[in-house]
């Protein structure tokens, strides 16, 4: 079946512009995560949804970052007034909420954001 | 919060030899430890994971060991092949993975033909 998809794959924004990054999780996956991956680093947690509820947003670096998942499927990560330090790959991951212990997080291909 | 350290940052291994990557974690509440492989420009993909109630898990050429007392876990790849060349990330999570993953900084593994 289809995996996690993200769009756009690449985004160039001028400093100060707002951007919106989209994630389409695997159908039926309850949990959705956003991570930020700087060049040469491991992914860092940003925020987590279970269905439409945002259960953890402790990783969002500032109030310029906002995420939503209004219908419990597609999610959007919005960054307002982008800064150069926002340049990174933004990864989305989804996982099922399974009682048998299968909690693999499936990652999308990421959106590479470059702020100039 | 959780902190995961990973060593080495780079590793070169002759084809056919074994590779070992080690990670330590700080939060004793972590109970799920996945390993992801990321090829250049591609998404991270799970290659193996282990839960805290198990000490070792093996899948063909790949194995993971966990020492809960010492809070460290390791990835072992035997009979390495050129297609094993990639960046490998360890991670830790509470609630058996149904929460955020805290990743290590990655190991760039190069298999020398």
Q: Is the pLDDT of residue A101 over 90?
A: no
The CA-based diameter of chain B, rounded to the nearest angstrom, is 41
Which positions in chain A touch B100 (Cβ < 8 Å)? Answer: 33, 45, 48, 56, 59
Give the integer Cα–Cα distance in Å for A7 and A112.
Answer: 10
Rg (CA), chain A: 14
Lowest mean pLDDT among A39-53, A88-102, B59-73: A88-102
The pLDDT tens digits along chain B (113 residues) read: 899 999 999 999 999 999 999 999 999 999 999 999 999 989 999 999 998 888 999 999 999 999 999 999 999 999 999 999 999 999 999 876 678 999 999 999 999 99
Q: Is the pLDDT of residue A36 over 70?
A: yes
Rg (CA), chain B: 13
The answer to whether the Cβ–Cβ distance between B42 and A109 falls below 8 Å is yes
Q: For testing the chain B interface, which of A37, A105, A109, A110 should be mutated: the one with the most B CBs within 10 Å?
A: A105
Q: Is the pLDDT of residue A96 over 90?
A: no
């Amino acid at each position: 079946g289809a995996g996690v998809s993200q769009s756009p794959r690449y985004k160039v924004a001028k400093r100060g512009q707002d951007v919106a990054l989209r994630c389409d999780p695997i159908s039926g996956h309850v949990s959705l995560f956003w991570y930020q991956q700087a060049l040469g680093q491991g992914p860092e947690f940003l925020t987590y949804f279970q269905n439409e509820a945002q259960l953890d947003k402790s990783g969002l670096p500032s109030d310029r970052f906002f995420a939503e998942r209004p219908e419990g499927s597609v999610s959007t990560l919005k960054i307002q007034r982008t800064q150069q330090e926002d340049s990174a790959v933004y990864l989305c991951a989804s996982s099922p909420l399974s009682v048998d212990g299968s909690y693999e997080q499936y990652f999308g291909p990421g959106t590479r954001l470059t702020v100039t | 919060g959780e902190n995961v350290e990973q060593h080495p940052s780079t590793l070169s291994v002759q084809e056919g030899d074994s590779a070992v990557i080690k990670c330590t974690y700080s939060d004793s509440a972590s109970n799920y430890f996945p390993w992801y492989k990321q090829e250049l420009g591609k998404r991270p993909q799970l290659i193996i994971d282990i839960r805290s109630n198990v000490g070792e898990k093996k899948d063909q050429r790949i194995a993971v060991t966990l020492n809960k007392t010492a809070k460290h876990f390791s990835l072992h790849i035997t009979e390495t092949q050129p297609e094993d060349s990639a960046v490998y990330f360890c991670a830790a999570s509470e609630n058996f993975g149904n929460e955020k993953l805290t990743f290590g900084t990655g190991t760039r593994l190069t298999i020398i033909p």
